[in-house]
Amino acid sequence: MKKYDFIIVGAGLFGSVFAQQMNQKGRKCLVIDKRPNIAGNVYSKEIEGIQVHKYGPHIFHTADKKVWDYIQQFAQFNHFHYEPVANYKGELYSLPFNMNTFHQMWGVVTPKEAEEELERQRAEFLARRPKGNEPENLEEQALGLIGRDLYEKLIKGYTEKQWGRPCVVLPAFIIRRLPVRFRYDNNYFNDPYQGIPIGGYTQMVEKMLAGVEVKLGCDYLDDKKFYNSLAENIVYTGPIDAYFNDCYGSLEYRSLRFETEIHDKDNYQGCAGMNFTDSDTPYTRIVEHKHFEFGKGNPGKTVITKEYPLEWKAGSLEHGSLEHGSLEHGSLEPYYPVNDAKNQALYEKYSRLAKQECNVIFGGRLAEYKYYDMDKVIKRALDTSGQIV
């Protein structure tokens, strides 16, 4: 008999939901994480009375009532709606693409006028390519969906900065997340349930992990044998290529360098997220955290974070951030899998190896090499744990 039924590697959403479910079923779990904190990339930390989303903005949204009901056991959600603003060289546009954006871009007022202009631009693009072909890359997807003006000003620069690759080599699905609507409606998401956990994500994950043993600052891959000897089963949520010692070569990930600054003012930019969609501004967006829970925070203070995208390499360190007056520095994390054809093929090879690993469950954005939203990760963890009797 081993000490634990499960050792769960990673205290992010997949690991924490899985641990919560198994703990509820009376299984003995140990959650370990190499970071000094729980909650993985949804970790939030209070600065100046404001919950700062340390690893990028996380807005919870879902169409899945079961996931919504599940998550509310651990936090009360506010009614925050994400309405980011795109800043293209000082010209401001509403996101996602909706009547406000079309009015700002072309001066059109009615849905009919907007549809006609979009149709004209789409037709220009479609006339030059064989009929019936599926978009082969992100640029084709964008031009066929929203036409050249919106693509050039709101997608191309941002996407190429974010992913570090030309749009013509990126997979189309990346921007299928962005809605196009003919209503004056700036809500970034279509999902019926949306909000931010009042008091922060860390508190929410703490509640999930209540009664579960957690050890922080422990790297599973440093001593796999030791951890395996302690548990019947492993749940691994780290990068799948690292689990197998990069035996087929490394998968590519995009990372972000965050520069967080405190400003002596109540309101810096008037919205939670401003996207800088030109190619010259080196950061992709500025997040002003107090807007997620407006009314919170010390008077006369606000906290903002600039996101600088960059390629992730194993062991790479964030540098230079302190010189820029940033509050944090440390190791870079692999945030976004690059799901292009080359990486996807490599992932499939690792995935086949993973299937042969008895007693190991691979789950979450890094272990499944998938650009998951939070609700999908939760669903996956609920389904996976649900199969274990």
Q: How far is the CB of 323 from ligand UDP (least distance, A)?
A: 25
Out of 16, 98, 277, 302, the residue judged to bind ligand UDP by CB under 6 A: 277
Is 205 a binder of ligand UDP (CB under 6 A)? no
Catalytically annotated residue among 254, 268, 308, 340: 254
Closest CA to 339 of 366, 358, 319: 366
**Would residue 373 show up in a list of annotated catalytic residues for this protein?**
yes
Q: How far is the CB of 115 from ligand UDP (least distance, A)?
A: 21
H-only helix segments in the chain: 13-24, 65-71, 99-106, 111-126, 138-150, 157-163, 201-208, 224-230, 240-243, 341-356, 374-386
Report the C-alpha gap between 252 and 298 in whole angstroms: 40
Q: How far is the CB of 362 from ligand UDP (least distance, A)?
A: 21
Catalytically annotated residue among 4, 165, 181, 206: 181
- Within 8 A by CB and 6+ apart from 329, the residues are 318, 319, 321, 322
Is 374 a binder of ligand UDP (CB under 6 A)? no
Nearer of residues 113 and 191 to ligand UDP, judged by Cβ: 191
Catalytically annotated residue among 248, 268, 308, 371: 371
Is 338 a binder of ligand UDP (CB under 6 A)? no
Is 275 a binder of ligand UDP (CB under 6 A)? yes
Report the C-alpha gap between 378 and 60 in whole angstroms: 11
Question: Per CB under 6 A, which of residues 287..316 are in contact with ligand UDP?
Answer: none
- Within 8 A by CB and 6+ apart from 260, the residues are 47, 52, 54, 303, 304, 305, 326, 327, 328
Q: How many CA atoms lie within 13 A of 245 on its CB side?
A: 4
Look up residue 152 and give its amino acid: E
Out of 6, 55, 97, 158, the residue judged to bind ligand UDP by CB under 6 A: 158
Nearer of residues 87 and 385 to ligand UDP, judged by Cβ: 87
Report the C-alpha gap between 71 and 38 in whole angstroms: 17
Q: How far is the CB of 64 from ligand UDP (least distance, A)?
A: 18
**Would residue 371 show up in a list of annotated catalytic residues for this protein?**
yes
Is 121 a binder of ligand UDP (CB under 6 A)? no
Nearer of residues 167 and 234 to ligand UDP, judged by Cβ: 167
Q: How far is the CB of 143 from ligand UDP (least distance, A)?
A: 13
Nearer of residues 234 and 332 to ligand UDP, judged by Cβ: 332
**Would residue 307 show up in a list of annotated catalytic residues for this protein?**
yes
**Would residue 219 show up in a list of annotated catalytic residues for this protein?**
no
Catalytically annotated residue among 5, 140, 241, 307: 307
Out of 8, 11, 52, 155, the residue judged to bind ligand UDP by CB under 6 A: 155
Report the C-alpha gap between 6 and 18 in whole angstroms: 10
Could you tell me which stretch among 12-20, 123-131, 155-163, 202-210 binds ligand UDP (CB under 6 A)? 155-163
Out of 41, 159, 194, 260, the residue judged to bind ligand UDP by CB under 6 A: 159
Strand 91-94 with 85-88, pairing: antiparallel
Nearest 5°: the CA angle 68, 60, 143 is: 120
Could you tell me which stretch among 33-41, 128-136, 156-164, 214-222 binds ligand UDP (CB under 6 A)? 156-164
**Would residue 27 show up in a list of annotated catalytic residues for this protein?**
no
- For residue 18, give both structure tokens: 């899985």
Is 101 a binder of ligand UDP (CB under 6 A)? no
As beta bridge partners, residue 94 has: 85
Closest CA to 279 of 188, 156, 172: 156
Alpha-carbon distance values, 165 to 72, 137, 171, 314, 340 (Å): 38, 12, 11, 19, 10
Could you tell me which stretch among 6-14, 173-181, 240-248, 322-330 binds ligand UDP (CB under 6 A)? 173-181
Closest CA to 145 of 178, 113, 102: 178
Q: How far is the CB of 287 from ligand UDP (least distance, A)?
A: 10
- For residue 129, give both structure tokens: 């390519």
Catalytically annotated residue among 120, 129, 176, 177: 177
Is 95 a binder of ligand UDP (CB under 6 A)? yes
Report the C-alpha gap between 331 and 316 in whole angstroms: 6
The binding site for ligand UDP (CB under 6 A) comprises 86, 95, 154-155, 158-159, 162, 174-175, 177-178, 275, 277
- Annotated catalytic residues are 177, 181, 254, 285, 307, 371, 373
